[in-house]
């Protein structure tokens, strides 16, 4: 009986599960002692450990990235709660650090956030729409920072007047007039979007667009202005020139 039991006992002792369990129990029993020993070793070999860590990261970037990814996926809720607790306890320190970091790294942050937004535009917009916390934050921000937002919009309007005008008119066309907005050419500086019908839009010079009174919503029988302007638009597309009525000057 002894000879039959002994091999299985040895197998159990040498098994991976047994060794892992034993290590875990040993660590729990001697936690303070182990931590103090590690602390002393780290202090005595600070430069050596720093050099080793740097070399290890260089040689194992992909491995470390995969390990960190698995860890985050496995402990996402715990990490979030730890982060919330830490920010709650160190709110003032974090605010000071964030202000200093933003001030000293302004150009880098602008470039980073712009590239990140362009690469993840669709997913970011979806998260904003579906996250009530973000929606409430944006709503409260708009309420308490109206003057700042007005100044930002004013600066943007002055810097991008033609583009903003084009976007505003396109939005109004969709929202208020129930017109389609299928673009047949590209927007250019100094242009207006002209509806040649209720669906299709051609960008034409602002002067040409305002030269003839017209409305795409009027009935075809009473819409002579739209027909005349469309003729001028087709001439401009073919020749690059147009006539301003009623003077008849060729531009």
pLDDT of residue 162: 76
Cα separation, 105 vs 122, in Å, equals 27
pLDDT of residue 176: 57
pLDDT of residue 167: 77
**In 19-30, which positions are buried (b, 16+ CB within 10 angstroms) versus exposed (e)?**
eeeeeeeeeeee
pLDDT of residue 246: 58
Angle (deg, nearest 10), helices 61-74 and 76-89: 80
Average pLDDT of each block of 10 consecutive residues along the chain (251 residues)? 45 72 89 90 87 89 90 90 91 91 91 89 84 86 87 83 75 65 85 86 89 75 78 89 60 40
Distance from the first to the final alpha carbon of the chain: 111
- How many CB atoms are closer than 10 A to CB 157? 13
8 Å CB contact between 241 and 251: yes
pLDDT of residue 216: 79
Q: What is the pTM of this model?
A: 0.34
Domain range summary for the chain, segments of one domain joined by +: 179-250
Token look-up 């998260």 returns 127
pLDDT of residue 247: 44
pLDDT of residue 10: 53
């Amino acid at each position: 009986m002894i000879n039959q039991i002994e091999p299985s006992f040895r197998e159990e002792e040498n098994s991976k599960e047994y060794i892992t369990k034993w290590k875990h129990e040993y660590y729990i029993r001697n936690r303070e002692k182990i931590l103090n020993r590690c602390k002393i070793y780290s202090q005595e070999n600070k430069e050596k450990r720093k050099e080793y860590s740097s070399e290890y990261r260089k040689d194992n970037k992909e491995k470390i990235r995969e390990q960190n990814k698995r860890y985050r996926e496995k402990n996402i809720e715990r990490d979030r709660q730890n982060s919330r607790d830490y920010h709650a306890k160190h709110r003032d320190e974090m605010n000071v650090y964030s202000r200093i970091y933003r001030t000293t790294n302004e150009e880098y942050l602008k470039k980073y956030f712009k590239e990140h937004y362009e690469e993840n535009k669709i997913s970011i917009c979806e998260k904003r729409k579906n996250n009530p916390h973000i929606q409430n934050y944006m709503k409260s921000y708009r309420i308490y920072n109206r003057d700042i937002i007005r100044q930002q919009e004013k600066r943007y309007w002055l810097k991008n007047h033609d583009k903003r005008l084009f976007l505003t008119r396109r939005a109004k066309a969709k929202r208020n007039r129930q017109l389609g907005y299928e673009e047949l050419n590209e927007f250019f500086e100094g242009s207006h979007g002209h509806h040649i019908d209720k669906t299709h839009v051609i960008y034409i010079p602002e002067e040409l667009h305002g030269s003839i009174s017209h409305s795409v919503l009027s009935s075809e029988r009473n819409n002579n202005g739209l027909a005349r302007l469309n003729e001028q638009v087709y001439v401009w597309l073919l020749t690059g020139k147009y006539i301003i009525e009623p003077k008849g000057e060729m531009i």
